[in-house]
Amino acid sequence: MDVRGLMAQAATLNARRTAVIHGDRRLTFEEAWRRGIQLANALLALELHPGDRVGVLEDNSIEAQDFFAGATIAGLVRVPLYARNSAEAHTHMLAHTGCRAVVVAEQYAHEIDAIRSDLPGVEHVVVRGRHDGLDYEEWLASYSDVDPQVPIDPDDWYIIRHTGGTTGKPKGVAYTHRSWLAAGRDWFYNFPPMVAGERCLHVGPISHGSGYLYTPTWLSGGCNVLLDHFEPSDTIGVMEREQVGYMFAVPAMLNALAREETACNRDWSALKVIQIGGAPIADETALLARDVFGMVLYQGFGQTEALPVCMMGPEEWFSDVEGSEPLRSTGRALPFAYLQIRDPENPSIECPIGQQGEIAIKCDGQMLEFWENPEATAERITTDGFVLTGDIGRLDENGYLYVLDRKDDMIISGGFNIWPAELENVIADHPGVVEVAVFAVPDEKWGETPMAVCAVADGVAVDDAAVADEIRTLCASRLGSYKKPTHVELWAEALPKSPVGKIQRKILREPHWVGFDRRVAGT
């Protein structure tokens, strides 16, 4: 089976039902699929061929649905860019995947214009709103609505999503049609069945975690409701007004929604599932959200490279189980996924129940490779096909998984992956910095946030606020605002090092985690 064939079938069987909502705009399945066909023909008219990679930079919108469907119909491989990323990240994602074209929302066109000269392989930039002298709707309507009937094999590439890397370069995680469908199927495995016409809200970009719920909703005859920004009171209003049944939220979003002043007085009778993922969640947030929204919270675990592997519903999440703490766990393994704890020093060895080690996953929705990166692929996929997550955890006697730490110190802030090395590389360029270490510290709003400790050059005062501000600004301009360190501490002395001269992040980090029983935090 392939995504295109199943989406086409759902469009036929649900032709008159509402498929997508964005603000006041509503499209039926018939309308949405026709627009997708027209965009597919528009892209193929650029002499793009099935299997070619096409980047896209956009917010959630009707036009985002056009591209979601159009790239699928044309057999093109989507490469989502992230609106909050830096120009350097955009350039890398487009270049290393060999994108021949980019589709960009007009509000972000300047970002692609600024890097176009660095992308000789990009032959076409389609700007919504000013392409070929036409506005987007006129341009789209000028193309045929006859399905091009592009042949697709289930093992053809479907999408390349990007994740962070310890070197600071995002890695492309490649999914086939088969693995993308498997990931969506397993996301919904423990959910109450979706009935045709029910609505799934996408608060975050469908290029991120929420996108895993998009395809299963379409295939079920459900309606995808799109928001192009997150503001708690607006989101609460849409959830009630549109009678949302399903949604995905990172813990920081859930915390804001549960604390919105009108949330307790709303009608949540249609709400079935709020899927939580992307970052650890604090007990207080989970319990508060349960009290506000009811028994609708689902906790899952996985990562872009392999997902999902764990899932549990509210009855289990908030239960008392002898020998376990479900509230502190990420759930138990799904029926069709392998979950093991491996020896961090020898990944071929499986650890016994109760012992800490590196979490390893094997499931139908896992990546086949890092795109054009065989070395990184070999580091992360074992000889027996397991994906090493980089997370340290343990399994208890009842099968609950507890995430305890990160093998390589990745920071998850508000659902976004931030790698210390990428900040350190930027901060080291500041003329007043001699050496630097970046690590996660707890944060009430974001769960955790980056902190930078910098040994400074002679003549730089350790209480110089201007230098600290310059460091934050440097990171924001080079990497994006969400990656800048919230805290910057300047030292006159050298940073602590191991016997072989490696800066010891964990020694610097530990004082900030006193009172916490694990070295990851949630909101």
For residue 287, the cross-strand partners are none
DSSP alpha helix (H) spans, 363-500: 374-380, 420-427, 465-479
pLDDT at 168: 56
Backbone angles phi, psi at 104, to 5 degrees: -135, 135
Q: pTM for the full model?
A: 0.86
Contact between residue 127 and residue 106 where contact means Cβ atoms under 8 Å apart: yes
Report the phi/psi class of residue 143: left, alpha or beta, with left for phi > 0 and alpha for psi in -120 to 50: beta
Rg (CA), the chain: 23
Contact between residue 90 and residue 111 where contact means Cβ atoms under 8 Å apart: yes
pLDDT at 165: 46
The fold adopted by the segment(s) 411-513 is GMP Synthetase; Chain A, domain 3 (3.30.300)
The list of the chain residues with pLDDT below 50 reads 165-167
CATH tag, 1-177? 3.40.50.12780
Best CA proximity match to 507, nearest among 498, 520, 516, 494: 498
Residue-wise pLDDT for 475-514, tens only, equals 999 888 889 999 999 999 999 987 657 788 889 999 999 9
Exposed, middle or buried: residue 262 (CB in 10 Å: 0-12, 13-18, 19+)?
Answer: exposed
pLDDT at 167: 45
Contact between residue 66 and residue 172 where contact means Cβ atoms under 8 Å apart: no
Break the chain into its structural domains and give their ranges: 1-177, 411-513
Contact between residue 276 and residue 297 where contact means Cβ atoms under 8 Å apart: yes
pLDDT at 131: 65
Question: Strands, DSSP E only, in 313-364?
Answer: 332-333, 337-343, 346-350, 357-363
Backbone angles phi, psi at 31, to 5 degrees: -65, -45
Residue-wise pLDDT for 189-239, tens only, equals 999 999 999 999 999 889 888 899 999 999 999 999 999 999 999 999 999
- For the chain, percent helix, then strand, then coil, each to nearest 5? 35, 30, 40
CA 292, CA 287: separation in Å to the nearest integer? 9
pLDDT at 422: 81
